Structure 1
Amino acid sequence: MTDLSEDERTKLEAAAFRRLVAHLAARTDVQNIDLMNLAGFCRNCLSNWYLDAAQEAGLPLSKDESRQAIYGMPYEDWKALHQREATDAQKAAFEQAKPSH
């Protein structure tokens, strides 16, 4: 692998993160429970990790602000527009997977 400077690596990681967030914003058909069942994380996890990073850096950011950064709108708006009730199969898969974070 090419030796990257810390700044170059950080820029690449930030670009990849922004692309992931944009991809998830475009795929509103993919429910958080589907992400949790398949990958062990969801949009809420990303928003929590974003908030953790802000807190570690000493930056003033609220949970609502971190969710808006990931969802692209207030969380309650996203839920009203895109979140569906989980099916029994989705709930059963979630209980079986039991993500540990």
Structure 2
Amino acid sequence: MVELSNEQQREFEAAAFRRLVEHLRNRTDVQNIDLMNLAGFCRNCLSNWYREAAEDTGVALSKDESREIVYGMPYAEWQAKYQTEASGAQKAQFEVSRPKDH
């Protein structure tokens, strides 16, 4: 396995995160409940993790600020443009598969 410096590791992790965020911004057809049901996390989880990482270093970000970083726009705007009502089946699956910390 290739030995990476801590700086390289952070750089590559940051690049992968940016690519994931960009992918999710482009895939507005994929709803958060779909992500939660399949993978156990969603855009909101990413924004929470981002905010928590900032707070760990003493940078205060609001929930709205961190969501805008992940969504690429204010959350309310994304909801109005792209969010659809979850089906009964999606909601039922969420109740079965939801992470315990949600």
Band of TM-score, shorter chain: over 0.9
Partner of 1:98: 98
Distance (whole Å) between structure 2 residues aligned to residue 40 and residue 98 of structure 1? 7
Shift of 1:99: 1.4
Partner of 1:85: 85
Count of residues in correspondence between the two structures: 101
Deviations 1:27-74 (A, max 9, x none): 000000000000000000000000000000101211111000000000
Q: TM-score, normalised by structure 2?
A: 0.97
**What are structure 1's unaligned runs of at least 5 residues?**
none
Q: How does 1:34-45 map to 2 (within 5 A)?
A: 34-45=34-45
Partner of 1:52: 52
Secondary structure of 1:67 counterpart: helix
Partner of 1:76: 76
Partner of 2:32: 32
Secondary structure of 1:35 counterpart: helix
Deviations 1:3-49 (A, max 9, x none): 00000000000000000000000000000000000000000000000
Distance (whole Å) between structure 2 residues aligned to residue 41 and residue 84 of structure 1? 18
Q: Detail structure 1 runs of 4+ shifted over 4 Å in the superposition.
A: none
Secondary structure of 1:69 counterpart: helix
Task: Tell me the C-alpha RMSD between the 2 structures.
Answer: 0.6
Distance (whole Å) between structure 1 residues aligned to residue 55 and residue 44 of structure 2? 16
Name the % identity: 64
Q: TM-score, normalised by structure 1?
A: 0.98
**What residue identity is the alignment partner of 2:64?**
D
Distance (whole Å) between structure 1 residues aligned to residue 100 and residue 36 of structure 2? 11
